A = this chain, B = another copy of it.
Amino acid sequence: MKNIQQLLSELPIRSLFKESRIGIEKESQRVTLSGELATTDHPKEFGNRAFHPTIQTDFSETQVEMITPVANSEREVFEHLASLHDVVRRTLPENEMLWPLSMPPVLPENDDAIKIAKLASDKDVAYREHLAKTYGKRKQMVSGIHYNFEFDSVFLKQLHEKSDSTQTFKDFKTDVYLKVSRNYLRYRWFVTYMMGAAPLSEEGYFTGCPKGRPNMPVRSIRNSNFGYTNDESVFVSYKSMDDYATSIQKLVETGKISEEKEFYSAVRLRGGSSVAAIQEKGVGYIEIRNIDNNPFANYGITEEQIKLLHYFLMLMLWLDEAPIDSDEWLREGERLNNQVALENPLAPTSQIEEGERLLIAWLEMMESIESSDDDIGLVKELGRLLANPEETLAGKMLTEIKAQETQEKFAIELGNTYQASAWEKPYQLAGFRDMELSTQLLLFDCLQKGISAEILDRQDQFLKLSFDGKVEYVKKANMTSLDTYVVSLMMENKTVTKKVLDQAGFKVPAGKEFTTKEDAIASYAYFIDRGIVVKPKSTNYGLGISIFKEGASLEDYSEAIDIAFKEDTEVLVEEFLPGTEYRFFVIGDKTEAIMLRVPANVKGDGVSTIAQLVEVKNQDSLRGTKHRTPLQLIELGPIEKLMLKEQGLTVESVLEKDQVVYLRENSNVSTGGDSIDMTDEMPEYYKEVAAKAVQALGATISGIDLIIPDVDAEVTPDNPGYGIIEANFNPAMHMHAFPFAGKGRRLTLKVLERLFNGIS
């Protein structure tokens, strides 16, 4: 094929070269908050490991493995990884966290205390028992990151076309990945130098006094021959696909490895269920396996690292290979890597010159493909690290460990910090914070329960969910296949909703609609002697509404009609229902949550001013702005100040202890109101009324608002005790999950339970 560097100077391919698909797998040991290996089982909240696509256990029961979906950008894969960490951390028992290092924590003396993952498949367990026997359990306890990489398919196709290659596309593609793999195996010492982060082991990793135990600290025990590697005699050729396949087959046949997946290379060819399948179909992508967990990164790797590895793999394609036997080339790489891995992290590397040459080629490539200045800056930074080993990950670790006295203390502190960070805003999900809160909550549940979620439209909050072979689509977390199209439209139309509920025997405010004042006046007789509300049919922020709690005179009625007609061409006169409004969140045949919304308010302490009380109340992490939080900040704007003035108060007034002052008339959470969960307090009767009303509408998911004058009052045939105001087809879910007071209700999970069988 033509020289790749020439080819990439041709415009179209150049831009496509930067595209790729990346997926990351990351392992971490579960430990107690004081750093002891966890003794608990993998949390049952994760459901069935047999098909959980993203949260698994690796070798041991304590070794959580997080697997991101394949992403189209570094940012995307990083966000997936972040979200998985949020989910895992929030699901761990209260006194557990993830160990932030690749090297395991102090391991128990007794081998039996290191539990092999309790998988359902006998074969999976047997394989792990074989590994334990062959390599020892302790080496298996090392964790790390696997980086799956695929070139953009359009790029590969165009590269194939432009290269004038006589190969089939399949063979061409395989050769591309083989070249990248060979170069990676040759130059991987550079990654070990830059990103190696396993300088020390803890007690219990090296048992007894093994032969050649390294002179720690080193750059990476894990990436040295003291890490989790095959026997020295295991060598696989990357000369061609056939050579690769043949050598692995021979290893299995001779029993040097028990099966193909026991071949622990730093690069694996992927794209099929077996090596033979890959040989048949061609290489689909490669798996880079030598990345240590970065303890300075909350999620074990930074977005910059992900990007640098991406560029490094591009560089592996860009660089010409040396004109020597490729098996030799690989053995040389293996030797160099082990050497660099075992260097003292604070000492300059022996390979500094080759490193400088690599960096020069790397920057040439980036200029050629017109990389951004930011990206070029990242690579230049590597040059600084090459000259300053104390700034590499292992170097920085040593400095920190020295300050903290031991690596264990260093790891425990970081682990605790990261664990706490996952709980700072528990209503958000890292990686998806731009989405609506309800969708973040739903995605959390999906990740936890092993429901695959593909975002079909991010702005539209449109998801494709798959579980156990079933596909469901969900928009805004509550718009699903559980409801019919026409029922959503029914609930959208308040008049229709009321008519249907009325016909089904539910109490709704009686009322009439008018398109002319004349008609409205003619019907005054319907509304004498009772409380009424006069309002435009489409209400906008309460404009044009008149409420007559005790009934209206014809004159008042007439005036109210005029006011309402200023806002709309249709006017509604409705019976006024006195009482407190509760939101009943119904799913299917059950009221799952009940919320009382209280207008923005503060409670006095005898010394603070209203302004101070508001400030304190606003410090609640549940409060924020623009619906990015379950509650909104209380404002002290003109409306609030007017409301205070009407009560003879100002923002400087000091309230008596326990004196409650309201700052708003309306109870909306969006204007600083409080949300109070009342699910357990509400009598069963009203829960049934709400659920049956939703069923009468034919709906499955609805937020139905009931006015109840007194929840404890006796209910009679003449007085059902409630009136239904409206049913919402897109009811807020997050406010139920994180209320101001009372118990949170995980409604998104309830929705998922209705969509899929067997997730809980």
Binding site for B on A (CB under 8 A): 11-16, 18, 154-155, 158, 456-457, 459-460, 462, 464, 472-475, 479-490, 493, 495-496, 499-500, 522-526, 528, 554, 570, 698, 729
| Interface pair B493/A485, CB less than 8 Å apart | no
Given contact pairs A154-B525, A481-B698, A474 touches B493 in the complex (Cβ within 8 A): no
Residue of B nearest to A488 (CB): B485
Closest to A518 in B: B372
Contacts A462-B490, A473-B487, A528-B12; is A522 near B481 (CB within 8 Å)?
Answer: no
Please tell me if the beta carbons of A486 and B473 are within 8 angstroms of each other in the complex: yes
B485 close to A480 (CB less than 8 A): yes
Whether B493 pairs with A486 at a CB distance below 8 angstroms is: no
A698 nearest CB neighbor, chain B only:
B481
A489 contacts across to B, CB distance below 8 A: 460, 462, 475, 479
Q: Decide: B462 and A525 in contact? CB cutoff 8 A.
A: no
The distance in angstroms between the C-alpha atoms of A459 and B515, with both chains bound, is: 11
Which of B462, B480, B525 makes the CB contact (< 8 A) with A16? B525
Q: Is there an interface contact between B524 and A12, defined as CB atoms closer than 8 Å?
A: yes
* Distance, CA A523 to CA B13, complexed state (A): 10
Report the copy number of this chain in the oligomer: 2
A493 touches B158 (CB 8 A): no
Closest to A554 in B: B11
Q: 5 nearest interchain CB pairs?
A: A12-B525, A481-B484, A483-B485, A485-B488, A456-B496
Query: Closest CB-CB distance, A314 to chain B, in whole Å?
Result: 15
Chain B residue numbers with a CB within 8 Å of A460 are 489, 493, 496
Sample of 12 further A-B pairs with CB below 8 A, known A15-B523, A472-B486: A13-B525, A15-B522, A18-B522, A456-B496, A462-B496, A473-B486, A473-B500, A474-B486, A482-B484, A483-B486, A485-B485, A485-B729
Cβ–Cβ < 8 Å partners of A480 in chain B: 484-486
Name the residue on B nearest A460 (C-beta).
B493
> CA separation between A481 and B700, bound complex, in Å?
13
Give complex CA distance A457, B155 in Å. Answer: 56
Q: Is the CB of A495 within 8 A of B526?
A: no
Q: In the complex, are the beta carbons of A525 and B158 less than 8 A apart?
A: yes
Partner among B154, B474, B526 whose Cβ is within 8 Å of the Cβ of A154: B526
Q: Chain B residues with Cβ under 8 A from A479's Cβ?
A: 485-486, 489
Chain B residues with Cβ under 8 A from A485's Cβ?
Answer: 479-485, 487-488, 729
A16 to B522, CA, bound (A): 8
Instruction: Give the shortest distance, in Å, between A436 (CB) and chain B (any CB).
Output: 14
- Given A12-B524, A15-B522: A486 touches B481 (CB 8 Å cut-off): yes
Q: How far is the CB of A409 from chain B (nearest CB, A)?
A: 45
Separation of A462 and B482 alpha carbons in the complex (Å): 21
Bound CA–CA A460/B495 (angstroms): 10
Flag if A500 contacts B456 (CB, 8 Å): yes
Q: Is the CB of A456 within 8 A of B488?
A: no
Task: Please give the distance in Å from A697's CB to the nearest CB on chain B.
Answer: 9
Cβ of A152 to closest chain B Cβ, rounded Å:
9
Interface contact A15-B524, CB-CB below 8 Å: yes
A26 to chain B: closest CB distance in Å?
Answer: 28
B493 near A462: Cβ-Cβ < 8 Å: yes
Q: Which residues of B contact A13 (CB under 8 A)?
A: 525
Chain B's closest residue to A475 (CB) is: B489
Bound-state Cα–Cα, A400 to B742, Å: 82
Within 8 Å by CB of A487, from B14, B16, B481, B525, lies B481
From residue A413, how far is it (CB to closest CB) to chain B in Å?
Answer: 40
**CA gap between A486 and B473 in the complex, in Å:** 7
Contact partner, A456, options B473, B475, B499, B525, Cβ 8 Å: B499
A488: chain B residues at CB < 8 Å are 485, 488
* Chain B residues closer than 8 Å to A554, beta-carbon distance: 11
Task: Give chain B residues whose Cβ lies under 8 Å from the Cβ of A570.
Answer: 459
Which residues does chain B contribute within 8 Å of A493, judged by CB atoms?
A: 456-457, 460, 462
A-B contact pairs, 8 of them (CB 8 A): A15-B524, A15-B525, A18-B522, A457-B493, A475-B489, A479-B489, A483-B486, A488-B488
Given contacts A456-B499, A462-B493, A496-B457, contact A16 B481 (CB under 8 A): no
Alpha-carbon distance A485/B481, docked complex (angstroms): 6
- Residue picked from A18, A480, A485, most chain B C-beta under 10 Å: A485
**Which chain B residues border A528 with CB–CB below 8 Å?**
12
Is A464 a contact partner of B500 (Cβ separation < 8 A)? yes
**Chain B residue nearest in CB terms to A494:** B457
Q: B residues within 8 A CB of A729?
A: 485
CB distance from A369 to the nearest CB of B (A): 11
- Rounded to whole angstroms, the CA-CA distance of A729 and B460 in the bound complex is 17
Residues of B within 8 A of A462 (CB): 489-490, 493, 496
Cα(A493)–Cα(B489), bound, Å: 17
Complex alpha-carbon distance, A161 and B287, angstroms: 87
For the complex, what is the distance from the CA of A686 to the CA of B528, rounded to whole Å? 63
Compute how far the CA of A698 lies from the CA of B480 in the bound complex, rounded to whole angstroms. Answer: 12
Q: Are A495 and B15 closer than 8 Å at their CB atoms?
A: no
* Given A15-B522, A496-B457, A524-B12: A486 touches B490 (CB 8 Å cut-off): no
Are B526 and A16 in contact (CB-based, < 8 A)? yes
Interchain CB contact (< 8 A) of A473 among B15, B158, B698: B698
CA distance A456 to B501 in the complex (A): 12
- Determine the chain B residues whose CB is within 8 A of the CB of A524 once the complex forms: 12, 15
**What residues on B are CB-neighbors of A481 within 8 Å?**
484-487, 698
A481 and chain B: residue at smallest CB distance: B484
Smallest Cβ distance from A555 to chain B, in angstroms? Answer: 13
| Complex contacts, A14 vs chain B, CB 8 Å | 525
Which residues of B are found within 8 Å of A158, using beta-carbon distances? 525
* Chain B residues whose C-beta falls within 8 Å of the C-beta of A523 in the assembled complex: 15
Q: For the complex, give the distance between the alpha carbons of A570 and B458 in Å.
A: 12
Q: Which of A18, A462, A486, A522 has most chain B Cβ within 10 Å?
A: A486
Alpha-carbon gap, A698 to B484, bound state (A): 12
Which B residues are in CB contact (< 8 Å) with A155? 525
